[in-house]
Amino acid sequence: MSTMSGLRVNLAQAEPIALAATFECAEGELHALVGPSGSGKSTVLRAIAGTYSARSGRVRVNGEVWLDTAAGICLPPHRRAVGMVFQSYALFPHMTALGNVMAAMGHIPASLRESRGRELLELVHLSGLEHRRPAALSGGQQQRVAVARALAREPRVLLLDEPFAAVDKSTRQRLYREIAELRRLLNMPVVLVTHDLDEATMLADRMTVLHQGRSLQCGSPEEITRHPASAEVAHLVDVRNVFRGCISSDDPQHNRLTIDWNGCPIVAGTKAGLRSGDGITWAIPDGFIVLHRRDRPSRGEHENPVRGHIESLIVIGQTAHLTLRPAHEPALPIHFSVPLHVARRNRIEETAEVTVSLLAEGIHIMADTATAGAE
């Protein structure tokens, strides 16, 4: 038996729901499973908890095997020490807040349950509401009861299934802070399922991008958004500037590689395994696109300049979201954003002619796929 600490998940099945998910979550780590609706995130979570039986796979926690289909091991959910917070909280409506928390304490003597339950409710800032039923609690309070109930089991793994989806924005911000605080007190793997990339980036140490039941990439949120493994991952993590091109020259000695992007040369850092003439997919995150000042030359203007006209300008808060149609290939729009005051100072408006630089350090080259450049 392995002595590895933390959670290791490896699931595979072709039907009824296709699954090919592999990831690890160390003790004290918060690992986000990110993907659109129907990507199999919740199914993976339920397979860890044991409420869904995957046809093939392994789930191990701190060396303890919860599921090993090859060895014929499949612990029922009530024998897996798991704390689960459901999207709808799934509180027991006929029990009080304290009753809900105590319901998960079957493993400790009855005489200790009430005091422990009160301690947990205090931990989630619900003192004084012990005797309220779920129907008499707000969404945020219900979520806290659900967290306290999940911890009452003294779990080896904490599973959070879109726990912030059903509360308003201000409550969500407060709950984010509370979960971040709580994490420091817990030394266990925490798996968070979310479709909200910002939420995952804010809370998670590492994340796995899931699509149609397949885990496409694991890594830190920054690593995945900066270096998506494929065009599919790039689209899923909202990197909108994904294009196809081909290598026109490669100079590894000077770490300089030139991409022929529909006639426009784009210089980027070199990447092993590529040769001149290879077809590639490349991406550039929003933050690496620099708008040139229109009144005077800017620094870095020589770096991959792309001229074009602004097709759309959408202001959200203090940010202007721009779409640029490049002059050399108007069918391949570039999306980027600038602070609103920058847009105003440069008199950026729809149809305005502008030039942007695509910073070489932000250009990420991926394996070629046919789906790139679809936007």
- Binding segment for another protein among 44-52, 165-173, 236-244, 277-285 (CB under 8 A)? 44-52
- Binding segment for another protein among 63-71, 128-136, 255-263, 287-295 (CB under 8 A)? 128-136
On whether the CB atoms of residues 86 and 54 are closer than 8 A, the answer is no
Q: Which of residues 76-115 bind another protein (CB under 8 A)?
A: 76-78, 81-84, 86-88, 90-94, 103-104, 106-107
Q: Closer to another protein by CB, 64 or 238: give it.
A: 64
Residue 107 in tokens: 């493993």
Q: Indicate the helix (H) or strand (E) that contains 157.
A: strand 157-161
Query: Which residues touch 348 (CB under 8 Å, ≥6 apart)?
Result: 291, 310, 313, 320, 322, 338, 342, 354
Q: Letter for the amino acid at 24?
A: E
Using CA atoms, how far apart are residues 342 and 294, in angstroms rounded to an integer?
A: 11
Q: Closer to another protein by CB, 143 or 241: give it.
A: 143
Q: Letter for the amino acid at 111?
A: S
Residue 355 CB, nearest approach to another protein (Å): 53
Using CA atoms, how far apart are residues 73 and 71, in angstroms rounded to an integer?
A: 6
Q: Is 253 exposed, middle or buried (0-12, 13-18, 19+ CB in 10 A)?
A: exposed
Residue 155 CB, nearest approach to another protein (Å): 9
Q: Closer to another protein by CB, 107 or 299: give it.
A: 107
DSSP 251-266: EGGGTEEEEEETTEEE
25 backbone dihedrals φ, ψ, rounded to 5°: -140, 115
Residue 193 CB, nearest approach to another protein (Å): 13
Q: Closer to another protein by CB, 74 or 90: give it.
A: 90
Query: Which residues touch 160 (CB under 8 Å, ≥6 apart)?
Result: 85, 179, 190, 191, 192, 193
Question: Helix 139-152 vs helix 110-123: angle between axes, to the nearest 10 degrees?
Answer: 140
Using CA atoms, how far apart are residues 23 and 41, in angstroms rounded to an integer?
A: 12
Using CA atoms, how far apart are residues 113 and 123, in angstroms rounded to an integer?
A: 15
Q: Which of residues 152-211 bind another protein (CB under 8 A)?
A: 152-153
Q: Within 10 A of 233 (CB to CB), how many other CB atoms are there? A: 22
307 backbone dihedrals φ, ψ, rounded to 5°: -95, 150
Q: Closer to another protein by CB, 91 or 365: give it.
A: 91
Using CA atoms, how far apart are residues 55 and 12, in angstroms rounded to an integer?
A: 7
Residue 295 CB, nearest approach to another protein (Å): 59
What DSSP character marks residue 293?
P
Residue 175 CB, nearest approach to another protein (Å): 19
Residue 151 CB, nearest approach to another protein (Å): 11
Q: Which of residues 131-160 bind another protein (CB under 8 A)?
A: 133-136, 149-150, 152-153
- Site for another protein (CB under 8 A): how many residues? 31
Q: Which of residues 214-243 bind another protein (CB under 8 A)?
A: none
Q: Closer to another protein by CB, 148 or 179: give it.
A: 148
Q: Closer to another protein by CB, 146 or 236: give it.
A: 146
Residue 349 CB, nearest approach to another protein (Å): 50
Q: Closer to another protein by CB, 99 or 213: give it.
A: 99
Q: Closer to another protein by CB, 83 or 228: give it.
A: 83
Q: Closer to another protein by CB, 86 or 282: give it.
A: 86
Residue 148 CB, nearest approach to another protein (Å): 12
Residue 19 CB, nearest approach to another protein (Å): 18
Q: Per-residue x/- mask for another protein, residues 45 to 74, rule CB under 8 A?
A: -x--xxx-----------------------
Using CA atoms, how far apart are residues 175 and 119, in angstroms rounded to an integer?
A: 19
Report the interface residues with another protein, using CB under 8 A. 46, 49-51, 76-78, 81-84, 86-88, 90-94, 103-104, 106-107, 133-136, 149-150, 152-153
